[in-house]
Amino acid sequence: MTRPTGNTRLKAARLAAGYRSQQDLVDALASRGVTVGIRQVRRWESDNPPLPYPDVRQALTEILGQDIEQLGFTPTAGTGSDLPAAASALPPLNRGPVRTPNAIQPSSAGTDYLSVTRAHRRLYWTVAPATLHPAVSAHAALGEALLPSTAGLTRRAVAAALAESWLLAGRIEFFDLREPARAQETWVRALQAAGGADDALLGSAVLAHMAFVPGWAGDRPAAAERMIAARTYARRSSASAEFLAWLDAVEAECETRCGDTRTALNLIAHGEDVLAAGGEHSSPEWMDWFSPVRLAAFKGNTQLTAGHLPQARETLLRVLDELPADADKQRTVVLGDLAAVEAADGHPATAAEYAVRALELLETHWYATGLERVRGVRRALAQWQHEQCVRDLDDRLYGWGAVVSALAM
């Protein structure tokens, strides 16, 4: 028999909003003048959660950023979505086909839905993000609509694939489009779907991605909190050595962005040891964004930030040589970091050369994170801005096709 998982949607939204315990949620509601006990919160997070009173519903949706249905509650007849009575009394507008519930889905629905999710995962490395993102988001919306019409193992399969789709949508928003606030909201939905699938490893992956948002903003406590949660979920699952090393890499990048390169280098060294030791578990198929060479790319960036220029140059050149052919997005980042090394070491011509190579790749493999690296290099070259090599870089960076993207970030 499948064990009950409770109202995972509410629990996931609570954790994502930073309320680590049920008591934290009680306190947050109290700060808004709503008094409930922890026993009531337990009932809300049970398998059959009672619908909160209207004032409590409003407070919950405000502090958790989700509507009442997304939080796992089912409005009773007459409650609707808390619309004013006059609005709910209006007759429905005739704007298209009548929306009817989906029929109960067959067991093949999980496999069929996952097949498209897998295709999107592979297409991510070659399709322009602005082209792929609408398709991934639409597929996730389909999964949300299908989920209520599934049960048992089929429901878990659809929920897991849905979590992966939302995770990918968030990755595009954060890394490719540089929309961190939007990515944060998307990853909350991914975490809720992972909870519906009772997939702790997928939940760990989502939580670790969520750490990037505060980490890149320099908010170390918030990033650390999400990493603690990610590691907790990883301990509940059969995490591979590669997955555990990736957690070290994510935390290392957050520490680097927050100014603690010593801790970051220690984390990367630990990740290298974990990979060298190996393990009995294999990585999940959806984890296609990490490998030993990508851990080395994290290391090179941290060495650069720490001012260890010879070591950073050696690491990044090795990464550039070992990256697979389909890793052009990552290649733009590595070229940007190599350019930054040369700029910091007083070699403007070499720095500009690497930056131009990155821009050439960005013309066919757009990656906002890569452009962010190039723009950082250009700022570092300010003292040589009248030299021809830097002017050539400016011509490439601020061409008609690139200037809007460059200045919008």
pLDDT of res. 197: 94
Query: 301 with 271: CB under 8 angstroms?
Result: no
Range among 32-46, 78-92, 198-212 rated most confident: 198-212
The stretch 254-275 carries a mean pLDDT of 98
The stretch 196-218 carries a mean pLDDT of 97
Over the chain, what is the mean pLDDT? 89
pLDDT of res. 159: 95
The rounded distance, in Å, linking the Cα atoms of 257 and 301 is 10
Query: 327 with 334: CB under 8 angstroms?
Result: no
Range among 26-30, 89-93, 391-395 rated most confident: 391-395
The pTM assigned to this predicted structure is 0.79
Tell me the three state secondary structure of residue 92. Answer: coil
pLDDT of res. 318: 98
The rounded distance, in Å, linking the Cα atoms of 101 and 383 is 64
Q: Which residue has the tokens 């909870």?
A: 195
- Measured CA to CA in angstroms, residue 192 lies from 222, 286, 303, 381 at distances of 19, 18, 36, 45
Tell me the three state secondary structure of residue 91. Answer: coil
Tokens matching residue 181: 């606030």
Query: DSSP string spanning 172-184?
Result: IIIIIS--HHHHH
Position 385, amino acid = Q
The rounded distance, in Å, linking the Cα atoms of 341 and 323 is 19
The rounded distance, in Å, linking the Cα atoms of 306 and 179 is 27
The rounded distance, in Å, linking the Cα atoms of 136 and 116 is 9
Question: Cβ–Cβ contacts within 10 Å for residue 377, how many?
Answer: 26
The rounded distance, in Å, linking the Cα atoms of 129 and 10 is 31
Tell me the three state secondary structure of residue 12. Answer: helix
Task: Say how far residue 194 (Cα) sits from the centre of its chain.
Answer: 13
The rounded distance, in Å, linking the Cα atoms of 329 and 131 is 16
**Alpha carbon distance, N-terminus to C-terminus of the chain:** 51
Query: 108 with 155: CB under 8 angstroms?
Result: no
Position 57, amino acid = R
pLDDT of res. 123: 96
pLDDT of res. 93: 37
Segment 369-402, tens digit of pLDDT: 999 999 999 999 999 999 999 999 999 998 755 5
Query: DSSP string spanning 200-241?
Result: HHHHHHHHHHHHHHHHHTT-HHHHHHHHHHHHHHHHTTT--H
Q: Is the pLDDT of residue 84 over 50?
A: no
The rounded distance, in Å, linking the Cα atoms of 58 and 253 is 37
Return the higher-pLDDT residue of 78 and 53.
53
Segment 280-339, tens digit of pLDDT: 899 999 999 999 999 999 999 999 999 999 999 999 999 999 999 989 999 999 999 999
Segment 161-178, tens digit of pLDDT: 999 999 999 999 999 999
- Measured CA to CA in angstroms, residue 320 lies from 47, 203, 332 at distances of 51, 31, 10
Segment 92-144, tens digit of pLDDT: 434 444 455 667 788 889 999 999 999 999 999 999 999 999 999 999 999 99
pLDDT of res. 190: 97
Q: What percent of the chain has pLDDT over 90?
A: 74
